[in-house]
Structure 1
Amino acid sequence: MDVIACENMIGGSQFLKEEGYKHLNDEDKAEVDKYVGFPERRC
């Protein structure tokens, strides 16, 4: 699954990922890395 931050900022998806990862342990981060992507919006 891809999660795209619909924000008017450069690097919004990466920022969202980093903020979410603050609440996960290393095992959970590894699971998210397997199944979830945070692509940057391309215009």
Structure 2
Amino acid sequence: MALETGGRQPEAIELYLSAGYRRIPDFGHYRDEPDVRSFGKDLD
């Protein structure tokens, strides 16, 4: 599963990291935005 958020949302970033998500290369519509943060997690 992949998701993206803004770099100015530290609470969201902490939540995703605590849930096992890890940073991945930026993707999708906002991939070239300097403030985007992309995360991914395997759903095995």
| TM-score normalized by the length of structure 2 | 0.31
- Higher CA-based Rg: 1
**Relative CO higher for 1 or 2, CA cutoff 8 Å, sep ≥ 6?**
1
Higher helix proportion: 1
